[in-house]
Amino acid sequence: MQAPVAKMLPDGIRMHLQHGPIDLIIGADGDRSAAFSAATERFQTILEELVAELPLLRGQQTGALRGVVAQQMLRAVGPHRQSGFVTPMAAVAGAVADTILGAMVAGADLRRAYVNNGGDIAVWLTGETQFHTLVSAPDQAELARINLTADAPARGIATSGLPGRSLSRGIADAVTVLARTAAAADVAATMIANAVDLADCSAITRVPACALDPDSDLGERLVVTQVGDLSKNQVSHALSQGVLRAKNLCDQGVIFGAALFLRRQSYVLGPIQTQQSQIRKSAEYA
């Protein structure tokens, strides 16, 4: 296996950490040198720890998980077990971000820090510091803006949808979620995005997950590969399925906000700003 890579980015204030499928951009305000050293040290073994328990992480019988990251993944999926099939792998990107951020905060005096794992982001804020980020469509069009403050409970941001880094069982263009941790946001974004769907719709092409990825934790469960033309009513109905899931998670305190996007329609819950969220809850986005 290739060795972990750690290098400063050209701006001199961010670092890139990469090992196998894990690809992080990290930043810190404060004792940046100590924070980056702590992150680099913790990063050396994180992939090996996950690989060692991968068969368990891809299943639903996970009581024997030993690793710190694996256990965090297991905790994150707990609130969703009654809502459909889910394994700890749904939280892997967010849990890695949380773990590296934890090492940075423990190893340095920081005012602000973040770890971005392909769009699943763990954030540390103090005092008057803030964290700003954008949510973009596959064509790079801006979908939403997020501004986290130190007095808000959200410290995790995650986005899921089609297309994305992972296989999707739903048809959402994007679902972005705010939660207490990146791991919690990661799972919730996946489950809400899966819920944005239309049953028995001929415009949607699905194949078994294992046909695309033999190692997928989804096995023979169907995932979406292509979505054809949909009417506005179909889009609204599909979006409403995800909105219902998001509202339930908000009511349970599992998440603090969500923004759902599908074919130029959107719905926003909580402190996420879209082009239309200042006007109405559901709208077509430009």
Please give the model's pTM, rounded to 2 decimal places: 0.91
Instruction: Look at residue 275 in the predicted model and tell me its pLDDT.
Output: 53
CATH number for position 246: 3.10.520.10
Instruction: Look at residue 41 in the predicted model and tell me its pLDDT.
Output: 98
How many structural domains comprise the chain?
1
- What domain range is 212 assigned to? 5-284
Phi, psi dihedral angles at 121 (to 5 degrees)? -125, 130
Instruction: Look at residue 285 in the predicted model and tell me its pLDDT.
Output: 35
Question: For residues 132 and 134, what is the distance between their CA atoms, to the nearest angstrom?
Answer: 7
Q: Which residue stretches of the chain have pLDDT < 70?
A: 1, 61-62, 138, 164, 274-286
Instruction: Look at residue 62 in the predicted model and tell me its pLDDT.
Output: 64
Instruction: Look at residue 84 in the predicted model and tell me its pLDDT.
Output: 85
DSSP 52-82: HTHHHHTSS--TT--SHHHHHHHHHHGGGTT
